[in-house]
Amino acid sequence: MVAPLKVGLAGLGTVGGAVARLLQQQDSNALANTLAVRCGRPIELVAVTARAKSEMDALGIRPVRFVSSPAALATDPEIDAFVELMGGEGDPAKSAIEAALGAGKSVVTANKALLARHGVALAALAERSGCALNFEAAVAGAIPVVKTLREGFAGNTFERVYGILNGTCNYILSRMEGEKLSFADCLREAQKLGYAEADPTFDVEGFDTAQKLAILASLAFGVQVDPDAVYVEGISSLAPEDLEAAAELGYRIKLLGVAVRTEQGIEQRVHPTMVPLDSPIARVMGVTNAVSLDGAGFPPITLVGPGAGGAATASAVVTDLADIARGVRAMPFGRSVAQLAGSRRAPMQRHEGGYYIRLQAVDRPGTFATIARHLADEQISLESIVQRRRNGAPHGGSDPDGAQSPAPVILITYATTEDAVRKALREIKNRGVIAGNPQVIRIEKN
């Protein structure tokens, strides 16, 4: 019988505990050891490390050998593969993975922060050691998007990769739209349910999505992973009236991570986005994630599934272990590190597309003429204009400049550039014909 793949697991939190239970359930399955059948050898959890040995007892898993530190487990002579589920972009996760690869042991990690910051260096170390560095669980949970990009479409080129990569934000936006609640109210609800952290900044301001997008961009376009190359906006400025207006115009607002090939390079951006209601990505609600792939030689493909949670993430971790057990050694980012192009931030000023703009127009003669003039100066054409009363109902007057009180004005532009929109809005604001800051949301077509 082929010897089992012996696994050392660092971290016994929600995901680590789920991985341990899944491996032990497979091992004790009375019908068949599914992993052994599929991989040609068993996968055995032989050692763990955590903050305290008592964590193993609390999980209700069968006892295995407890190792005092991640570094000691990473170089333990009795393990073949090291699973890192501690998190954090620095030590002890980073040094433990480096030690494991240096000792000739393959690594599985769900650590998006570490990969976003140090993924290229770790991939180079994996190449030199001849070991696997697998990270399916780092992006979109149970959705097999890493394997799809790295192996499933190895012969294809991509023009755009985009998706919903943060379940917390998608839950908040779904509640805001469905129940006409404010961002603050939905955030509090998400925190009560455990979908959002006590400090939700990393999620709601788009940084979590940016880290995941940087990894996907590397896999899709062959660029070095660099979260600093990603333009980032969050969802905290969105109001219920934005989601209501989007629905009336045939759109839904999602926080998207978008990587697209342009003449200036690979544009990577995270921001609230209006997507057509009939698009697959628009139908994804709640804490679910989705990734759409636009490539040469096939129609767009959208992968949908749970993006977080212990069971979903554990499934991806164990799938990575199964590849190691089979002897699969794919290059971490789909090609040699030496062949990864440098990553630089493509200027958002040159981004082209349609825009949703919500302004608070003041009650003053000539307001609309001023707005129209500065849009025309930047060669911005409008697809539609809607003025709403303060209560949100469409304005019924024939002349917008004759409105009796300040009211939101919604503009939908034809394709234009980010730079043109920003210049026009800056001039409009300087003329004193709008109150507050404009709300700007980009429109992503199918």
Catalytic residues: 212
d(CA 371, CA 32): 70
3-state secondary structure labels for all residues of 417-446:
EHHHHHHHHHHHHHCCCEEEEEEEEEECCC
Nearest to 23 by CA among 46, 49, 3: 46
SS3 at position 333: coil
Element (H, E) at 309: none
d(CA 429, CA 166): 33
SS3 at position 61: coil
Q: Produce one character per residue of 325-338: b if its CB has 16 or more CB atoms within 10 Å, e if not.
A: beeebbbbbbbebe
Tell me the two tokens of residue 316.
């991806």
Instruction: Give the phi and the psi of residue 406 in degrees, each rounded to 5.
Output: -55, 140
| CB of 277 closer than 8 Å to CB of 250 | yes
Q: From the CA atom positions of the chain, what is the Rg in Å? A: 25
Nearest to 97 by CA among 11, 23, 212: 11
Nearest to 72 by CA among 44, 43, 48: 48
d(CA 446, CA 441): 16
SS3 at position 258: strand
CA angle 182, 197, 48 (to 5 degrees): 155
